[in-house]
Amino acid sequence: MLPPSPPRLSPHPSNAASRRQVPDGSGYSHDEDASGGGAGHADAGASGSGRGREAAITSIGQASWALADAYVAEDEALLRARDRAREAGLRPVTPTAGSVLRLLAASVGAKAVAEIGTGTGVSGIHLLNGMRPDGVLTTVDTEPEYQQAARQAFRASGFAVNRARLIPGPALDVLPRLADSGYDLVFCDADRLEVLEYLAESLRLLRPGGLVVFAGVLANGRTVGTGPQPTEVLRLRELLREVHESDVLVPSLLPVGDGLLCAAKR
């Protein structure tokens, strides 16, 4: 059965597509051109055949993902930050992934969160929304102009200036300066080639019971793809293996957005 169409939950016009966007589990990342026929395109005329059944399932999947993203109801400040990310060619977390970050931050009662990859502040706002009212987000990015946009977005969302510490610079230079066991949650969303180093740093930064979260671990399906893959995909596979085999981590791989790998530190 198709999920109910939610008139009050329909995506904001700036999320809904001027381009046609296919919610296929990678949220807003997957654009389809106006001629249709993309990988996730439902073929209503083919019902009854195997292909038709598959198309119907895909269509239900798309509707479900659209509902999940729309359910979050992002406010104006978040939508503006999202627009700025799009203009900058960045790929922020999807609304659903953002809501998971908010949930996780709230679940651990996060007072201190470290974020690698500020972007224009989309994930940062979701994290701040879940953190304790006196919590501080420490967020690192190589690009000062993205951080300036994020600073404005945090202000527009109503967060006091002292709720966010924005540190410009390469993550692997900045992270060693952050305190051991000083963080409740570490969110990694920067350079996929460095994910193994981010994991090592996260284990040092997290208190016992803290959470580490990696965005984009499915790499648009390439992580499970066959054939030769770029180095960043090989790194992501190593990350998945390392987290899975770790004695100190309790992991879960959520097929949300482009894949959220979450793990609690024992």
Closer to ligand SAM by CB, 142 or 148: give it.
142
Contacting residue, 30, 84, 91, 235, with ligand SAM by CB under 6 A: 91
> Residue holding tokens 């203009």?
87
> Where would I find the H helices in the chain?
50-71, 76-88, 95-107, 122-130, 144-156, 171-174, 195-205, 231-245
260 belongs to the binding site for ligand SAM (CB under 6 A): no
Contacting residue, 67, 68, 85, 243, with ligand SAM by CB under 6 A: 85
190 belongs to the binding site for ligand SAM (CB under 6 A): yes
Cα–Cα distance list, 98 to 95, 169, 222 (Å): 5, 24, 22
Distance CA 238, CA 235 (A): 5
Amino acid at 22: V
| 48, two tokens | 């009854």
Distance CA 48, CA 53 (A): 6
Contacting residue, 122, 136, 188, 260, with ligand SAM by CB under 6 A: 122
197 belongs to the binding site for ligand SAM (CB under 6 A): no
- Buried residues in 188-206 as b, exposed as e (16+ CB within 10 A): bbbbbebbebbbebbbbbb
The residue among 97, 250, 106 whose CA lies nearest residue 185 is 106
Tell me the CB-side half-sphere exposure of residue 80, using CA atoms within 13 A: 12
Stretch that binds ligand SAM, among 21-29, 86-94, 203-211, 240-248 (CB under 6 A): 86-94
Task: Give the number of other Cβ atoms within 10 Å of residue 63's Cβ.
Answer: 16
Nearest approach, Cβ of 141 to ligand SAM (angstroms)?
4
Contacting residue, 43, 83, 191, 197, with ligand SAM by CB under 6 A: 191
Give me the DSSP letters along 93-108: PPHHHHHHHHHHHHHT
Stretch that binds ligand SAM, among 4-12, 116-124, 200-208, 248-256 (CB under 6 A): 116-124
Number of residues that bind ligand SAM (CB under 6 A): 24
Nearest approach, Cβ of 213 to ligand SAM (angstroms)?
11
Nearest approach, Cβ of 146 to ligand SAM (angstroms)?
5
What mask of x and - would describe binding to ligand SAM in positions 140 to 169, judged by CB under 6 A?
A: xxxx--x-----------------------
Amino acid at 144: P
Nearest approach, Cβ of 18 to ligand SAM (angstroms)?
21
Nearest approach, Cβ of 37 to ligand SAM (angstroms)?
28
What residue ranges bind ligand SAM (CB under 6 A)? 85, 90-93, 116-123, 140-143, 146, 170-171, 189-191, 194
